[in-house]
Each structure stands twice: as C-alpha cells, then as structure tokens.
C-alpha cells in the first residue's frame, strides 16, 4: 500500500499536466545586422535575448546597450554602428490545446532585399 501512493501521486500529476498543458521554453538563433552602420530592428517572438556570436569586425563591435539591445515593447532586437551578430532568442511552446494536440508557435526569419521578414509557422503533432 505504501508503494502505491507515490505511484498514484505521480500518475495524477502526469494527467494534470496533460490536461492543463505545459509551457516549455524553446530557443532559436537569429542573425541581425546593421547595414551601412544604420540602426536596424529584427522582429522576434519574445525574449530574453543573448548575443551568441559576433560576426562583424571592428569598428563594428557589438556592445549591449550601446550597439545592440532588445526592445521589449516591440519584441525586436536592435543593432547599430555596424554590429552584426547571431542572437539566441527564447520563445514558449504553447503546450496542449483544447483540441488535444500540441500547437507549437514560432517564427521563421529570412533576409531578403536588405530587410528581415518573418512569418508565423505552426506545427501540430
């Protein structure tokens, strides 16, 4: 009887997680660059954001708060003064929907014609 109680508690917790849904943090990498030393903004699904790798060379150094940052109001990374870098962006997995399957929402990014374009993409499984 003592062994059954912990197993039952785990089963109840697992079922509760499936019913209420889980929210798992995910990460993606985005390249954002200042073209001709002008400020650029790269739209992302949310934060936090961290610089993973600087791609620009001096004088285009990437210094947080000075030549790059994250604007929470517009959910965008901004870069300036020649900064070009790869950024790690966190986003959330929405978990199970009311339809009983996982509905993951994230964005894909493309760089075309000197601007970043993003579009919603959903996977259901």
Asked if residues 91 and 106 have their Cβ atoms less than 8 Å apart, the reply is yes
The verdict on residue 3 lying in a domain is no
- What's the pLDDT at 15? 37
The verdict on residue 13 lying in a domain is no
The verdict on residue 54 lying in a domain is yes
First to last CA, the chain: 38
Residues in the chain: 125
At 53-85, the pLDDT tens digits run 999 998 889 999 999 999 999 999 999 999 999
The verdict on residue 14 lying in a domain is no
Q: How many Å apart are CA 119 and CA 124, to the nearest integer? A: 17
Question: Which residues span the domain enclosing 72?
Answer: 23-124
Record the tokens describing residue 79, joined without a space: 């870069």
The verdict on residue 1 lying in a domain is no
Q: Which of 19-23, 35-39, 56-60, 93-97 has the lowest average pLDDT?
A: 19-23
At 84-98, the pLDDT tens digits run 999 999 876 555 444
Counting the structural domains of the chain, the total is: 1
The verdict on residue 116 lying in a domain is yes
The verdict on residue 37 lying in a domain is yes
């Amino acid at each position: 009887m003592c062994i059954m109680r912990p197993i039952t508690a785990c089963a109840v917790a697992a079922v509760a997680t499936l019913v209420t849904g889980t929210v798992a943090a995910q990460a993606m990498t985005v390249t954002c660059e200042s073209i001709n030393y002008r400020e650029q903004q790269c739209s992302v699904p949310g934060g936090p954001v961290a610089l993973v790798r600087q791609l620009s060379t001096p004088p285009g150094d990437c210094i947080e708060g000075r030549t790059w940052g994250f604007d929470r109001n517009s959910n965008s990374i901004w870069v300036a003064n020649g900064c070009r870098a790869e950024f790690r962006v966190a986003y959330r997995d929405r978990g199970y929907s009311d339809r009983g399957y996982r509905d993951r929402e994230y964005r894909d990014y493309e760089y075309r014609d000197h601007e970043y374009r993003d579009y919603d993409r959903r996977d259901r499984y």
